[in-house]
Amino acid sequence: MDNLSGGEKTVAALALLFAIHSYQPAPFFVLDEIDAALDNTNIGKVSRYISAQTKDEFQCIVISLKEDFFSTADMLVGITAKPGDCTVTKVVTVDLTKYGSAMQAAGAGPAAGAAGKPVSHDDEDLAAEE
């Protein structure tokens, strides 16, 4: 293991995690920046695998900053600071499932070019967005 790169170690750890899952299933995963050490090719492979598995096998929350990973998502959730006040945050969610069929027909991932209006969980922000 010492001779493996960071990306190879990540792929090995994910393979072990999903092998254990096939033996002893868990209904839910939270994966935090598993794509940090991966190159774009492996990000695509891992994101497609997780996307396929979440259709029937389990639910998954993936925390990622890389577009190649979250472009295969069904929903995006963002946490952002309010302008001028870094101590107050708000949650913004975008459901990409309603854009998925149109984007996939165009040959892109669900998030590519999706112009969905963010849904804020703060009533004041909803009024400001309209």
Q: Dump pLDDT digits (tens) for 6-25.
A: 989 999 999 999 999 889 98
Q: Both tokens of residue 67? A: 């577009």
- pLDDT band for position 54 (50/70/90)? confident
Q: What is the largest CA-CA distance in the chain?
A: 55
The structure's pTM equals: 0.67
CA 41 to chain centre: 16
pLDDT number for residue 125: 45
Number of H helices, E strands in the chain: 5, 5
pLDDT > 70 in the chain, percent: 76
- The pair of structure tokens assigned to 27 is 């209904």
